[in-house]
Every structure is written in C-alpha cells, then in structure tokens.
Structure 1
Amino acid sequence: MITFYPGPSKVYDEVGQYLQEAFESGVISANHRSQEFMQMLEKTIHDLKIKLAVPDDYEVYFVSSATECWEIIAQSLIVESSLHIYNGAFGEKWMDYTNKISRNTAESPFELNEVLVLHESVVRKNEVVCITHNETSNGTKVSDDFFANIRKRLPNVIAVDATSSMAGVILPWENADVWYASVQKCFGLPAGMAVMIVSPRAIQQAVMVGERKHYNSLLFTRDNFLKFQTPYTPNTLGIYLISKVMQQVPAIAEVDFRTKERAKSWYSFLEHNGYQLMVENEAVRSDTVIAVRDAKERIAVLKKAAKQEGIILGNGYGKEKDTSFRIANFPAINDNEIATLREFLARMALKTVNE
C-alpha cells in the first residue's frame, strides 16, 4: 500500500535497512547510561542541529510524543496562565489538555482562511503563548512574518507545535522558544518519539518556575540531556533511527525548497482537475498537509476506490471528518508514489465529469 495519511505516515524506504543495522550493531541492547549510548545521543543531537539549522544555543531533547510536550510545557513553563492561538482541532486539544493541568488557560481562536495577526491586548505578561505552526487537521499554516512580529513585540515564552512541519520546511527557530514535533510525519520515522527544541529564554523560565515534581519535568530532562543521558529509559531504537535519517537527508534548505515546490504543484493539479481545496486563501495553505473538501458520499467513494488500488488517503478530521480527505506532502514520499496518486485522482475527476 502507498500511504498519504498525514501521520503516522510513510517512513523513509531506508528505515528497513536501518532497523537491521540497529539490531546487528547491538546498540538497541545497550544500557542507556553506557558510553556507547551517550556517544550515539550526542552525535544524533549534533547531526539534527546541523541538518535542521537549529541555533547553537538551543537545546534538543527526545521525549515520547508531542502530547507529552503539552504536559511538559504545562508543568514546567507556565507561571500564571497560557494563551492558545489556534484555528483547528489540534491547537484546541493542546489548550484543553493544558487546562487540565494548569487550570488557567485563555484562548484566541481564528478562522480557517484568516491571516493571523497578533492582537497584543489578548496577551498577558506571564502567559506562555501557544501556537500551532501547521494545523494538521485542516491544512493551514502560520506565516514566518507572524512569528517575527510576535517575537519583536512580546517578551513571553512562545511555544510552537510544529508536528506536521519540522524536518519538512525551514522553521524560524529564533522567533519562538519551544518547538516540538512527533517523528511520524516529516521526519519519515515510525511513531513513538518526539523532538523538543528549547531556547535559552525557555530554560531561564523553567529555572524560575523550578518545577521538579515529575519524571518528565523540563529541568530534570535537561539535567540528563546535558550529560547525553535521558531522565527515563529512552526509545533507543527511535534515537538510532533519527540519527541515521539525519545523516541521510540533505540540509533543510534543500528539503524546504522541494517541499514547497511539490505543494505548489499539488495545489495547481487539484484545482486544474476540479477538486475543491478546503483552504481558499493561498497565503495560509500548508506546504505539508493538503486538505480537499467534497460531499460526504463522494469522499467515501474516493477513499474506497483509492484503497482498492493500493492507495491510502488521509481521512478528514474533526467536523470535516466525512467531508474531506488529506494528502501528506512529507519528504519520505517519493515522486513515483505522487505520480500514482495523481493519475488516480485525475482518472476519478474525469469519471465524475463523464457521469
């Protein structure tokens, strides 16, 4: 099957080989306090920072999932409250989960086709500002200009969910303080691990909060990663695989160019073939998750026919679950697979016209 599901999504073709190498090397059986493991972790972090152009003074941690990142931020960085700026289901879920821990969240929702503009009146001094960079549920993105503007105007810690964009496009690292992503999307890896990247400003706030009550407290996590260890027994295989993928992939500037060119081509192809794009405003269309809307019955026919031909389309999500499908535009998906899906979609579009 060829999968275009937007997470968990297709893993790089080479991952099968890397799994065998991991087994044969013995590293996945190594003690996570051993020199062998610590050397691997150090190299993995180094390679990731180089390939993704992460600033030198930002620190990289590996945790279990993006959902765990919600928990770490809520426990270890919130002083008084958090502000959640969102236009989709995952941004809203982040807010709901945070509220269960901190019980003091504020929200600033915006519309699907809206270009996000900061209204400083909604931001309070001690809030952690939480933004979803790329909303997987509806195929929208927040522009780099917004992040540059908010960084210039606010001293707050800014946390960003980049689950559907990290390792797929260039991120404006220095314009936010916590970036996190699960690896089952643009990293092209199996689910079960997340990358969390934090700035000196975020670390300073964590020190001020001083929270050390949990196994995954940010300060406890940092103490261990500074020694190239982990606060709990890690996903050693996941760390090994991300190390191998970071060695394999080109620099993020090249990946970014390819991702965006593919996205332009996808949007043009879909419109040319009569498909209705969920996001009408080109300025806020995601480069990595493409959402298409249609009647419920038509969506069901498309997904069923695709599956019969060995193609998995992504389901819609939330209120658009039955009236849309999503296409992952992640780096691990190759040109032949894209050509196969396009041929299918073009054929189905023609069939609809003839009917």
Structure 2
Amino acid sequence: MQAEQHLPFELPPVTFYPGPSKVYLQLSRYMQDAFTQGILSINHRSATFMEICRKAIEHTQAKLNLPDGYKVLFVSSATESWEIIAQSLIGRKSFHLYNGAFGQKWMEYTQKIHPASNGFQFDVNQALSPDDIQVPADAECIALTQNETSNGTQVSNAIITQFKQKYPHMLVAVDATSSLGGIKLDFIAADIWFASVQKCLGLPAGLGLLIVSPRAMERAREIGDNTYYNSLLFMAENIEKYQTHYTPNVLNIYLLMRVMEEVEDISIIDKRTRQQAHAWYHFFEKYTSVSPIVTNTAVRSDTVIAIGADKQQIAFIKERTKQAGIIIGNGYGSWKETSFRIANFPAISLQEIQDLQHCLAGVL
C-alpha cells in the first residue's frame, strides 16, 4: 500500500506502540468515504452491509492466503475469542503453551470455564518442541501464542505444524494478535486462529477476527453449544448470510474491506516485515546500554521488538522519544520498567523507522 500524501491536517505523534498502533494513513480517506456514502448509518441486516461483509471476508481470505473452507468470523476483540473457543470447542480440557502474560491470561480465562485445563510455561529463550513436552492425552485442544506481545517472542510455523502432526486428534488454537497481517502464517497448521485489527492490520481497535477450519466446525457441531449469543454455531450460521451474531462494528468492517482491497499480498508484506525486524535487531547490536530481552535469535519476534535496559535508561529513552514526537511502547508485566517495545507493523513507514532510529542514536 502506497503512502498517502498531502493530508489536509497535522498528523499526531508517530506511535510505535504495539497495539493499538499506527493506522494506515489511507483511513482518513476511507472514513470520509464511509461518512459521505452513509455507511455509518446503515442497518447491519441490510443488503449494503452484507455486501461489505462479503467483500471484507473475501479480500481477507485472498490477501492472507487462507486455505479453502476456513471461515472468517467477526468478534469484538481477540480476547473474546478465548471465551468462544472455551465455550464452543472445548468439552472439558485444553492444554496451553505459554511464556508470557497474554498466553498465561488465555489459560487462566479458560480455566474459569473449564477448571481442568492446564499448561506448560517455557522460558522466553526456549524454542518450543513437541519432543520436549508431553501434552496430556485427555486434552482436546492445544493453545499457543504465536507472537507474545509482552516479551517479543514468537513461535514458528514449523513448530506449530509439528504439534499438529504429533497430536492429530487434538485441535490446535493460535493467538496471532500481534502477527496476523504482518507475517505469513501457515494457516493449515492449526484449526483456530484469532487476532485483533489494531496491530498488523493497521485499523482502529474494536474488531477481532476469528478464523476456523472445517475440522474446528465439525468439533463445534459435536459439542453442540448453542447457549450463548457468541456460540460458534450461531456465529457460523449468521456469517453464511454475511451477517453477524451481534450489532457489529460496521465502520471497522468497512475499513477492513478497503484496506484488504489495497494492501499487497501477505508474502510481500512478510518479506518486508522480516527485513525490517532484522534491521532493528542489528541497529540495537551497536549499543551496549540496551539489548533485546530475548537473546535466542531463533525465537525473537519479527513484529514486536522488545528492548531491555536499566530502569533509569528506559525512562530517559521514553522521555526523549516523546519530546521528539514519537511514542514507543512501555514494557509489560515483569519488564514494565526495564524495557520498551517497538511495533514493526506494516502501516509504519520506512521514514518513520529512520526517524526513530535517528532519535534513539542520539540517546543510546
């Protein structure tokens, strides 16, 4: 997607916060179009909305290279997907693999619905391997976070595939909140994927995508949950008509349609994202006062760059970048005061990256 030029207003500070993050500049035009075309006032059961919904789904399927038969469902956020998976796709027990705050929160939320669910916590520098972990035989679903936003780690497509191959009778569910739309994901390697749009998809917060395989839908029919407004079977029934199970965020679905019409194929975005991530890590290698939280280069995230230093240095860096009109992300959890995070998302321009690096070079 090309950079938008000659905007009729002054831009706010550039944000590298890893969600909500910078939106595509084209959204100023898309939102004006939505207003003038009456999109903001349409009924969500109308033919107009159903056409927008259809196009948003089809463009998303095409640009992300989703396998045939995988459904795209709209939810309020990635967090809501935790609940939907627990209600509709797990009968008694899931097994969670996590090394950070968001993976752990997913497990803890699932335990509120299915107390028998448990998991395995691994170190931030550990590369997951199914050979090193024994998943309980009675687990129905393996849940893992592909990109852990809190600490800047990621799990490769190859490893996700290995878990599915070793445990073919279990569903595999993947939190791709900080990577969907930024790197190429091997969707066939798992049955359930979910994310929010305010990160790599370059949209405002308030919409999530839940992607489910035919196998996941078969499991949903076996469990037969139809108790809740967001039961997966009810959601799937509605999306067949290009409608939703609730009054949706019509504007964001419209914006998703417009963005996915114009963005490049994920294979092109993936190459650029990984090149920029490599450049970021190389940039920080030049300085001794800071270093990536993750020392194992094989598990470092390509979309969230997490950098550690002492508390005073972190506070100084954040203040100086703020003075320069640039916002970087705070650390999270146990790293809150001793790290900062940088979003490496597609909507952020090369010029903005260079501006931040120039600013950082003056304080490191």
TM-score, length-normalised on structure 2? Answer: 0.94
Listed one character per residue, the Cα deviations across residues 139-172 of structure 1 (whole Å, up to 9, x for unaligned) are: 0000111112112111211110000000000001
Q: Which amino acid aligns with 1:106?
A: N
Query: How far apart are the structure 2 equivalents of 1:12 and 1:19?
Result: 11
Query: How far apart are the structure 1 equivalents of 2:310 and 2:106?
Result: 29
5 Å-filtered alignment, 1:153-168, equals 153-154=166-167, 155-168=169-182
Number of aligned pairs? 349
SS at match of 1:121: coil
Q: Does 1:307 align with 2:322?
A: yes
SS at match of 1:195: strand
Listed one character per residue, the Cα deviations across residues 171-221 of structure 1 (whole Å, up to 9, x for unaligned) are: 010010010000000000000000110001110110011001110000000
SS at match of 2:363: helix
Which one of 148, 152, 163 corresponds to residue 135 of structure 1? 148
Which one of 78, 91, 95 corresponds to residue 83 of structure 1? 95
CA contact (8 A) 2:93 2:138 kept: no
Report the counterpart of residue 353 of structure 1 in structure 2: none
Q: Does 1:257 align with 2:268?
A: no
Shift of 1:125: 3.7
- List, as ranges, runs of 4+ consecutive aligned residues in structure 1 with deviation greater than 4 Å: none
Which one of 273, 284, 290 corresponds to residue 287 of structure 2? 273
Structure 2, gaps ≥5 residues long: 1-12
Structure 1, gaps ≥5 residues long: 350-355
Q: Does 1:43 align with 2:55?
A: yes
Which one of 148, 158, 164 corresponds to residue 151 of structure 1? 164
Query: How far apart are the structure 2 equivalents of 1:123 and 1:35?
Result: 47
Report the counterpart of residue 113 of structure 2 in structure 1: 101
Which one of 119, 122, 135 corresponds to residue 110 of structure 1? 122
Greater mean deviation of Cα atoms: 236-245 or 124-133:
124-133
CA contact (8 A) 1:167 1:187 kept: yes
Query: How far apart are the structure 1 equivalents of 2:16 and 2:139?
Result: 40
Question: What's the % identity of the aligned pairs?
Answer: 51
Listed one character per residue, the Cα deviations across residues 49-90 of structure 1 (whole Å, up to 9, x for unaligned) are: 000000121000011001100010011111120101000000
SS at match of 2:216: helix
Q: Does 1:190 align with 2:204?
A: yes
Query: How far apart are the structure 2 equivalents of 1:153 and 1:25?
Result: 51
Q: Does 1:244 align with 2:244?
A: no
CA contact (8 A) 1:125 1:156 kept: no
Q: Does 1:17 align with 2:29?
A: yes
Shift of 1:120: 5.5
Which one of 302, 314, 333 corresponds to residue 318 of structure 1? 333
Q: Which amino acid aligns with 1:20?
A: Q
Query: How far apart are the structure 2 equivalents of 1:144 and 1:32?
Result: 36
TM-score, length-normalised on structure 1? Answer: 0.97
CA contact (8 A) 1:79 1:126 kept: no
Shift of 1:273: 2.9
SS at match of 1:330: coil
SS at match of 1:348: coil
Which one of 277, 280, 299 corresponds to residue 284 of structure 1? 299
Which one of 28, 42, 47 corresponds to residue 30 of structure 1? 42
Listed one character per residue, the Cα deviations across residues 72-114 of structure 1 (whole Å, up to 9, x for unaligned) are: 0011111120101000000000011111122221111100100
Which one of 220, 225, 228 corresponds to residue 211 of structure 1? 225
CA contact (8 A) 2:95 2:139 kept: no
Shift of 1:293: 0.4
Which one of 234, 239, 243 corresponds to residue 220 of structure 1? 234
Query: How far apart are the structure 2 equivalents of 1:213 and 1:112?
Result: 38
